Structure 1
Amino acid sequence: MKEFKLENEPKIESGFKTPEHYFENFSKNFMQQLPEEEPKVISLFQKNKKIVMMVAAVLTISILIPVVYNNSINANNNEIDATALENYLSYQSNINQYELINGLEADEIDNIKTTVVLENATIEDILATNGNLELLMLE
């Protein structure tokens, strides 16, 4: 193979050349080519201000409607569900019937009092089927 030396081969010159004093005069020439009047800037917000405000108002109202609706439902629903209250009290082992009675007012106790008329046959059936007679006798 033939030996190749880079220094001995003829070099190809580039086809591009910069004019003389190009970089020294570049900033002066560039500033002369700029227009003297600045273009008028038109803001999109100013042009469509009414439309933007209406869209913002509709978006705000659409977000607030579910929040207000849920708050009004929860505010009106302050009553405690009777079954939920009964289940809560039945599973609390540290509350007895005397503590419950002490928490009630006199008119509430009067509303609770009802007269239940049981026939003797019904009482005998309950006593016969219930194996926990001692507990019933103590209560």
Structure 2
Amino acid sequence: MKKFDLQNDPKIGSGFKTPDNYFDRLETQIMEQLPQPKARVIPLWQRSSVWMSSIAATFLLVAGLSIYYNGQRNSVKSLDDTTVETYLQANVNSYDIIQHLDESDIKALEKTIVLNNDAVEAYLSDHNNLDLYLNE
């Protein structure tokens, strides 16, 4: 076998050659050969089925929203006073209530609450904090 040297041996041509500007003209030639489709345009809003379905969808949307909001309103009315009072007694303490009062609420409460000395002494004796309050 004959020795083969890529650097020094003469190169063999491929035998194929593209014409000048072949790839520049290729796209336009292919597009010219394609048949031109004739598109038929049908306006969507002139069909009666589109109008009927849009009216039906609007009616269903309005009916669904009105049923949803009426159901919400009825569920709020189902709470009675005893249920709310029981929930508040179980979940809210007096410190939480005090934090949400402002000056006008406190003044209104001061006008409605009447304290006498006997009630204060009874409360302090019941809670065994009399010594604490008297020392301060």
The answer, yes or no, to whether TM exceeds 0.5 is no
Range of TM-score over shorter length: 0.3 to 0.5
Structure with the largest fraction of helix: 2
**Normalization by structure 2: what TM-score?**
0.37
